[in-house]
Chains A and B, each alone.
Chain A
Amino acid sequence: MNKRKVTLAAAAAGVLTGATGLSLLAMPAGAGQPPSLPPVAPETLVEQVLTSEPGAFGGTIEVDNKLGLPAIAEIPQLADGKHSGRVWTDGNGKMRLALPNGQSEQTIVDDGTTTWVWNSADNEVTKSERRADKPDAEPDAKAADPATAAKEIVGLTKEFSDISVDGTARVANRAAYELVLTPKASEKTLVREVRIAVDAELKMPLRVAVLTNGTAEPAGTVGFTEINVGPQDAKLFEFTPPANAEVTTPEAKEREGREKRPEAGVEQALRGEDPQVFGTGWDTVLGARIPTEAMTQVPAEAQGLVDRFTKEVSGSWGSGKLFTTKVATVLIADDGRVVAGAVPEQVLFDTIGQVK
């Protein structure tokens, strides 16, 4: 009698454990109790962030994107939803970035002199020598690292924001201060506030969340889910192209016309030699003029894609297409003028006339 009861009880306990385990796995990892840290003045924290040297670290980054961007096949990491990647850096400019995309993977290795971009989906390596005049060889890679991204934001906007420290948080299992940058009332921006979790010990930003007007949830969050600070395996910052992979250069790719992405023209123009900058702080607007040939080169299907996610607008400045997300707006005039910023569309309409 007892043995049977014991067996049944053990079996029931097993089932219960399994079910509990399932629910635990299904639950999003809880933030846990916020750590208690000594108070810190916001200004001090900002200074510390700007002067901090993150050094070598490796970790997993999660991007939670609710910007409302269209899903673009070439850069699925930008589509709405959660995406994660892994990053390693030696703190001296060498870095490795692994971006899984479904079962494929894009690996970006910067070994200090050369940037290798490997994509398993097409078994191809793109190799670019780092040029002296362009230290940021891979801007995508830099932006994906929350530490760097946060530093840039802080640097650019601290004068135009009210800065405060709003409690503490636990990020990637590390204690952090929540630094909050709120655009000053005079700023005409879509951004309501930017919350930056700053590691209490290293003063290195661990998570950046952008909140926009009218929503309680962040429109975008970039943060570490796991980080280990310290020297990383040197082998990570080397890359040898696989034996049977095709190795090309970005220039060669361009010549083959393979970089014909619909947004490429806009991106190039705004990042180009001298984008025109209007205004300061949060409502800074970038302006540029896309060469006419680039406008007409856009393939028809890409044009269709553009049309689907933009709306036709016109005004005293002319007519064009407006592309909006929760944090940014881009206006492309039919004559090739482009303006973009973290601002409401009216600001762009007011600014586009100044584009040369």
Chain B
Amino acid sequence: MALKHATPMLDELEKGPWPSFVTDIKRMAARKPMCEDLLGLLEMSYEHKEGHWKHGGIVGVFGYGGGVIGRYCDRPDLFPNVAHFHTMRVNQPASKFYSTEALRKLCDIWEEHGSGLTNMHGSTGDCILLGTTTDQLEPIFYRLTHELGMDLGGSGSNMRTPEGCVGRARCEWSCLDTQDIIYDITIKYQDELHRPMFPYKFKFKASGCPNDCVAAIARADCSIIGTWRDKIRIDQEAVRAYVGGELVPNGGSHGFEKRKLDIQKEVIDLCPTRCMEWDGKNLKIWDEDCTRCMHCINVMPRALRPGTDVGATILCGAKAPILEGAQLSSVIIPFMKMEPPYEEFHEFVEKMWDWWMENGKNRERLGELIQRLGLREFLKAVEVQPDPRMINTPRFNPYIFYDPADVPGGWERDAKAYRERHHA
């Protein structure tokens, strides 16, 4: 069936070995006028080298302030079927495991009420349903909650949908139960997720180890990263097997040929703290000098494993550039046990949010507020003592903001007494 709009430029994206989103949209377009007009609009954007969507209007489901992004095209005269093309964010199941039964149901609901196009998944982690009209929002929400037991995710100045790595479901390195932590945060703070009450967005992400597969340190206002305080577990026999060429280094990440691992060059010399030594038979690790970077464990996964006294490093403040420039999260709590019911963590979160809501300006992320008021103010608010693990280096400027309470006599001065000692 010929489609309504010619798309000579988009057709070029049907070529090549990588899966083509254009081919995929085209097969939906055969039975969905919305997809047909989306292709036409996109072709026009390719011609103009400019997008054709307007700012979102306020649309949503009753009682929620997030989860739906209003979207309208700026040429409804040409593409009436995408005049309204709203997005719904569906809170993904943890680590994005699905049963096909649930997925098929979701597809059926979405084909009936929307464009049939999705993002699997959005950047934050939600399953994105791409393109529907305002009158369909309530029926979709009803069917999601009733037929699938699923709910919407966050948008706007809400807690955004939390996300974690695959964790203990299929990774031997996870020092945290990331699935349980993410589920706990998501359920405990449903109100914050659905109803905007913050100065701006707030993201939680949990990675099970310092490899940080969900990029928590780069993009979460509160990054929860698994770590351990005791010793790396060593299987000396397996170390010898890597050195002897019986096991493939790095789990095959750098090639599958069996080769003798040059443990000095590939492991010990690349260790950031040089805390290991190989005597030809045994690997010795001075764990007190280890900063748990994961390199040696990554290279010899059958020989080395994280320790067993596990918990999380809590870091805060990461964000993308808008407004004050990109930030990585900074260490706030070097180690927290992170065991259910996570009360210590909840207390921390609530103190953090209280301070941010009290002091944050409109559209000011937590990391920007910490920059503006200083890390000291944040630490006071969350009742955490300063720790050298929070910094790379002590300050090298002498401009210290002292608190009058820390100086004997405070800041009340006696000018007359001063001038008795020092004549003007």
On whether the two chains bind one another, the answer is no
Chain A residues close to B by CB (< 8 Å): none
